[in-house]
């Protein structure tokens, strides 16, 4: 397993080994002990699976606030997506900064998104299947978001904002400066 760390504390990419032969491949995509060794201490309670049928779909930037904040282990099993996380932990040295990583069926990377970060992805191909392992159950009363196109974030999306395919809910999220302090660095993240 290859482990990559990023400038935002706690964000980790892992690429599990893939063993291929004429029949196909086998890969151990999650092993609690190996993930703990990589700095990912999480107990997962729910798996989610989404399909985005067109290139240019943006889902996010999403997060759940306390007391149901979620950590997410995300990966792409078909197609490719640009995965983006933004630090929304007030007091964090990387508050408002983001990490962008390409996840694809080909590169087999997974990204750990700790609680306190907003998460989104943009599809780079048609028919992208995206899987999430999460550390808390979906709680609609704690479900919030951040504007994907907030200029203060400086995210370079692979699609023009006007051409992005989004839900109405995702088009209505507030900008970072209007977002309440749901997370405080070192306290609830």
Active site residues: 62, 132
Six-digit token string for 18:
């893939």
Q: Distances from the Cα of 150 to the Cαs of 18, 44, 172, in angstroms? A: 38, 31, 11
Six-digit token string for 99:
């990490």
Q: Tell me the C-alpha distance between 77 and 99, whole Å.
A: 21
Q: 22: which DSSP letter?
A: T
91: left (phi over 0), alpha (psi -120 to 50) or beta: left
- Tokens 């599809």, residue located: 123
Residues near 13 by beta carbon (within 8 Å), at least 6 away in sequence: 3, 4, 6, 101, 109, 110, 111, 112
- Cα–Cα nearest to 149, from 171, 169, 125: 171
């Amino acid at each position: 397993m290859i482990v990559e760390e990023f400038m935002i504390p706690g964000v980790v990419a892992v690429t599990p080994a893939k063993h291929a032969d004429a029949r196909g491949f086998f890969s151990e995509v999650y092993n609690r002990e190996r993930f703990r060794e990589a700095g990912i201490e999480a107990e997962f309670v729910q798996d989610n699976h989404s399909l985005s049928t067109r290139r240019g779909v943006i889902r996010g930037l999403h997060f759940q606030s306390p007391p149901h904040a979620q950590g997410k282990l995300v990966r792409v099993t078909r197609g490719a997506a640009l995965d983006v996380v933004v630090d929304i932990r007030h007091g964090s040295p990387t508050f408002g900064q983001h990490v962008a990583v390409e996840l694809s069926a080909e590169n087999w990377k997974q990204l750990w998104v700790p609680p306190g970060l907003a998460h989104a992805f943009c599809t780079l191909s048609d028919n992208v299947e995206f899987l999430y392992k999460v550390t808390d159950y979906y709680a609609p009363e704690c479900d919030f978001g951040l504007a994907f196109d907030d200029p203060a974030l400086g995210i370079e999306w692979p699609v023009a904002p006007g051409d992005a395919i989004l839900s109405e809910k995702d088009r209505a999220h507030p900008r970072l400066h209007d977002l309440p302090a749901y997370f405080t660095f070192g306290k609830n993240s």
